[in-house]
Each structure stands twice: as structure tokens, then as C-alpha cells.
Amino acid sequence: MKMTKLTTTALATALTLAFSAQAADDRYIIKVDESKKGVVKALAKQLGGELKVDGNGFFAASFTGKSLSDVKGLLNNPHVQVIEEDHRRIPFSAYSDDLGNAMVEQLTPYALYQSEANQVSFAANAGMKVCVIDSGLDRSNQDFVWGNITGDNDSGTGNWDEHGGPHGTHVAGTIGAADNNVGVVGMAPGVDMHIIKVFNAEGWGYSSDLAHAADKCADAGANIISMSLGGGGANSTEENAFKSFTEAGGLVLAAAGNDGNSVRSYPAGYSSVMMIGANDNNNDIADFSQFPSCEVTTGRGKNRTTITDETICVEVTAGGVDTLSTYPAGMATSSSMSADGQAFASSSMENAGNISGSVYFMGTAETVDSSANGNICVIDRGAISFYDKVLNCENSGGVGAIIVNNEAGMLFGTLGDANATSIPAVGAAFEDRSALISASNATINIGTSDYGFMSGTSMATPAVSGIAALVWSNHNGCSGTDIREALKATAQDNGAAGNDVYFGYGIVKAKAAHDYLTANGCGGGVTPPPSGDISLDTATGRAKGRNYVDLSWTGASTASVDIFRNGSLLRTTTNDGSYRDSFKSSGTLTYKVCDQDSTNCSAEVTVNL
């Protein structure tokens, strides 16, 4: 794409044509005298036309397998004024990365525009520090303020500043890549970071590693913990570690997961952790972004209760599809392409090289074509494999290949494991097809890079982490929970109206959150209820083969109280100062009592059975 961002007005009107020998979907517009339309419509139907649109002075119909000249011949009628192709109209992306080569110039990833982070200045002296728990940050990348970065190793993982794969370096760049005229720019450029390398050589760790890392983050003075990781199952050790960090005023964020289902992943599924989903550059939800339910059911029979808890499902989303960020040196493959001096977006397919030449349109490149000799082939997707297209171009004497998508968006692909071609080949977006076909010359470059693309809620999470640091740096009297609430209160509602399991409150917006806190203060303009007024005591015992916990409390002010066990609502009961919880199981439990539907709660009390 040529643009970096479209305004709302431009987006509503930005459309592109689909070019083909036969109209897209075999569909045509027939302009007629309105008074004679019925006669022509009847004729069109008689000749196999399927009516699609009935407009003022025209109608649209599809004629399967018929070209424009075929339809003109069929509808050779004096009442027909014009017959023309009914072209597809496709919206451009709402947001796009800057075009260019990140190795020699600074590019802004689309998520930064989408989140409005480019409209807020990072306050570098505000004391923000983001703790990144991942696979390490490779010191070879030039795009970090290394004097602001510290780190720890977990047992057996190696040095924190030597990568254990590109994931951790990519994540860190989205958070805090420097604003230094090269590479990319992070959401909070140059922010202090503490890197904890928890993944072993096989690329995984344990929940205990994360619990230990949370303590290291706190010891390092971090305000924010960012985790682009997760897995199945919860445990109290991990949960309590992040709960403690949050209760101390911090903010913890984790990825929802990439399986595209409703499974709850942890640590994102803990109430003290802000769960982050992913959207793309068109403001659509990513098809891989997990969407666990916000509902929790406790108890059995008549004691069965279902409540909605918005802290255990996706709370906000950010850009996480084809995200451009930092890589360890030379580990990414990147491409650049221009035609007639104009840069266009491209994707690297195969074969490193830098080539310039005249453009030759080779159609779908199903056969060798001597006219391609010495030229760069522009090829339509379809009919045969990408490999066969590039091979036919090369066997025709072509020096490079550009394969254009046949549907909206960029073409991503490879030439397969058996690739034996040598000329550089890139994918191109369908929206750029006309410009590429009509160009006189083009340049293709494919090579290694310190910058590349990844997709996942793993990419959306550091985006929100960096945005949180950015906003918080301008309101450093707030707590992490204040920042969390501000991001939710100002997110752009998307998907179903209101909070939903896919987007949560919506796509995070840095400028809106900053303005909200400026206008309303850290509490969002709402006076919080009193806290700490309720005192809770417990006693344990065993009767009739069952364990029990007797709760007694004072200081509650509502007619009924909410009793929580292990962070989930156990039941709402009359405020008479006592309640017995009876069960057959044993273990460690935590309890608290709150005024009904209130945050005025007792301190949590832990019991061991």
C-alpha cells in the first residue's frame, strides 16, 4: 500500500478497481431507460442473467461464464443505453506500516498509528520500567537504549542479553525501540526495561519460573510486567505472585493465546492480570485471538451461582497481525519493492538478491514466455503454484518476479521446500495490481534484516504494555489499576456493542486514555467506596466427615454480603455476621467478605485444611 494511514473520511471512500478480461463474478451493470427497465430485466432473466441490484435507471446482473462482449451481444436492445463491468470495490487498510527499509531509516508500525501512541509524548524521566518476561533480548540490535536496560537469567536459560530465539527481541522492540532515525519506534520509545529470560533451549518454561520472575521484576523496580506467553491450568503460587505485584501498585499484562478458541490461558486468566487480545490493521479481530468467557459458575444445586467477571477474559485488544519489530541481527528476511520510483509494500517469498529491470506482465505465468527475457515479471496469482510461476519466469529469462494477490490484501507465501529457482521473488497486494502492471520499471530487494514481522496476541500484549508505560509516564501518580481502568474506559468499542469476549472493551487508544486521566484524575472522576472497614475471622473444623470453615465478620454495611473463596464469588448471603462453608476436599483456601456489589472488602484470610 502507498499510504501510512487513512482518515475516517478517506477510508469511507477509498476504493480500488479489480481488473480482468472477464468481469469479477461475471457481473455487469445495465443502464436503461427507467420506463423500459421491466422489459430489459425480463430479457436478461430469459437469457440466464441473475438479478443482483435494481437501481434508479440501471440494474446489475450476473451472467455465468459470459464476457462483457458476450453480454452486449445478448442484450442488443434499443432500450439498453450502456453495459459495463460491475467492478469489485475493496476498502484499503485502515492503518499501514511506513514503507521503506528499516535497516537504513526509521519506520513506524501500523499499531502505533492505530493506538494513537504517536499523539502522546513519552515522559522519559517519569520512572517507568517495563519488565519483559520472555526469551531474552539480543544485544546485537542497534535499536535500543542499552543504558536503560537491565536483566536477569532464570535457571538454565543462558544470558538474558543473548536471544533464545527472536520472540523476546521482537516483543521488546514493540514496547521500547528507540526513536533514533533507524529501525522501528516503540510505543514508549527508550523506556527502561528489565529483561527476564525464562524460556529454556527447547523454548518453554514453567509457571514457577513466572512466579519467581514476578519477584525479580518487583526487585528491579518495574511498574509493568509484560508476558507474551501462557498455557493451560492455574495454580495459586503463580496467581499469588502476580496478585502481589498488582496489589503493590503495579500492572501485569499477558497474552490471551493464539488458538482462536474460547479456552482460558494462564497467566492471562488470573484476575490480577490484564488479558490482551489481537486485532489487525483493519480493526478486525485476529482469527487466532482466543476469547474465553467472562462468566464464572460456583456452587452446586440451589447454591449454583453464575457471575460475570471482566477481569478473567479479554479486556482490550491492539495490533497483533503482521507486526513489524526488532529481531536479533540478521535473523529476519525482509523485502522492499518499488515501481517507477514509487515504493510499494511487499513480502519476501524466496531467493535473496537486489535487481532492477523493465516490467513485463506475464499473466498467470503458466508457460514460458520469451517476452519476459531480461525483465521483472509481474504475475497474477492463480491456476498454478507460486514455484511454477517463478520457474517459468526464470526459464523465460526473467530476472525477478512479483506475484500479485487475487484478493484484497498482501500475498504471503513461499516457493516450497523443493524450490530450485534463483531469481528474487516477492508477493504484492491486490490493491497495487494496476500500478504494478502499468509500471515501466521496478526494483526488488530481498535480504537479511534486523527487523521482521510476527503475528499473535504475543505482539498485541507488548503494544498495550508500551502504551500503558506511555500513558502512565504522563500520570505517574496513578496506580497500575488506575491505568488499566483508563485504558478500558477509553478503548474504541468494536465488534458487538459494549464489552464482548473478542475485543473486551475495544481497541486500546493512548491519546484517549491520556486525555481521560488529564480530565478526570487517576480515579476516573469517581469517588471510590471506602475500603478496609470489614474485619474477617475464620475457624476450621470437621463434622460428619466434612471439613468446614466458619467465617465471622463485622463492619459490613449492606443488607447482604458477598463471600469470596479463592478470588471467586462463593455466594451472597444475609449480613448476619457469620457463614459456614462445608466441603469434602482439603487444601489451601482464601476468603474475603465484601459489602454486596462493592469493593469495600475485608482483607483476605488464608486457611489450610
DSSP state of 147: G
End-to-end Cα distance, the chain: 63
Residues 469, 224: contact at Cβ < 8 Å?
yes
Smallest CA-to-CA distance from 428 within 381, 389, 365 is with 381
In whole angstroms, give the CA distance from residue 284 to residue 277: 11
475 is catalytic: no
Strands (E), 174-247: 183-184, 192-197, 224-227
Alpha carbon separation from 153 to 214, 216, 475 (Å, rounded): 13, 10, 31
Q: What is the dihedral of CA 274, 277, 278, 284, to 10 degrees?
A: -130
Residues 175, 132: contact at Cβ < 8 Å?
yes
- Which one of 26, 134, 280, 595 is the catalytic residue? 134
458 is catalytic: yes
Which DSSP string do the residues of 274-298 spell out, in sequence order? Answer: EEEEEE-TTSPBPTT-----SEEEE
- Which one of 167, 194, 212, 514 is the catalytic residue? 167
Residues 191, 471: contact at Cβ < 8 Å?
no
- Which one of 207, 289, 334, 458 is the catalytic residue? 458
Q: SS in 3 state form for 51-87?
A: EEEEECCEEEEECCCCCHHHHHHHCCCCCEEEEEECC
The reply to whether omega before 528 is within 30° of 0 (cis) is no
In whole angstroms, give the CA distance from residue 185 to residue 179: 5
CA 259 to chain centre: 13
161 is catalytic: no
Smallest CA-to-CA distance from 452 within 81, 173, 266 is with 173
Residues 95, 22: contact at Cβ < 8 Å?
no
Q: And the C-alpha cell for 594?
A: 465484601
Strands (E), 491-587: 535-543, 546-554, 560-565, 568-574, 578-583
In whole angstroms, give the CA distance from residue 23 to residue 226: 50
The region, left, alpha or beta by phi > 0 then psi within -120 to 50, assigned to residue 300 is: beta
CB atoms within 10 A of CB 183: 27
Residues annotated as part of the active site: 134, 167, 458
